[in-house]
Amino acid sequence: MSLRELYQEMIVDHGKQPRNFGLLPEATHCEMGYNPLCGDKITLYLVTNNGVIESVRFEGVGCAISVASASLMTESIKGKSLGEVETLFQAFHALLTEGAERDDAVLGKLAIFAGVAEFPIRVKCATLAWHTLKAALSK
């Protein structure tokens, strides 16, 4: 199996069985995001404490890439400081929109979305959860 196929399989897996899916009644931050180009919708719930993401869950409907991206994002940011989350956001955004070189040390599993950069229409699907996260944290 090629790396590309492995990445594709991970996206399909997270798209079908998203992690951290559901409500988070004790959320300190909540934000909805919408990608009109594809119809992807997400509601993101966060609990932050002392500048750390303590829990995160999401609900929503959308294409496999948007759901997989939200699922992997929740896994990547849980337990991280807001500073670390900002670094992740920048690296992910640069990877998808600026053709930046993959920094696997920073991105970890998120690097599987590198191939999405080749499909501009899909970039919005992959970054929806992240823009929603930014909006949630800015409140």
Q: Write out the residues near Zn ion by the rule CB under 5 A.
A: 38, 40, 63, 66, 125
Shortest gap between Cβ of 61 and Zn ion (angstroms)?
10
Nearer to Zn ion, 11 or 137 (CB): 11
Q: 15 vs 46, which CB is nearer to Zn ion?
A: 15
Q: What is the largest CA-CA distance in the chain?
A: 44
Identify whether the C-beta of residue 32 lies closer than 8 Å to the C-beta of residue 132: yes
For residue 101, the SS3 value is coil
Angle, nearest 10°, between helix axes 64-77 and 120-137?
A: 40
To the nearest whole angstrom, how small is the minimum distance from the Cβ of residue 54 to Zn ion?
A: 28
Find the shortest distance in angstroms from Cβ 37 to Zn ion. Answer: 7
Cβ distance to Zn ion smaller for residue 31 or 40:
40
User: Smallest gap, in angstroms, from Cβ of residue 67 to Zn ion?
Assistant: 9
- CA gap 89, 36 in Å, rounded: 21
Nearest residue to 64 (alpha-carbon basis) of 7, 106, 134, 4: 7
Smaller CB separation from Zn ion, 20 or 66: 66
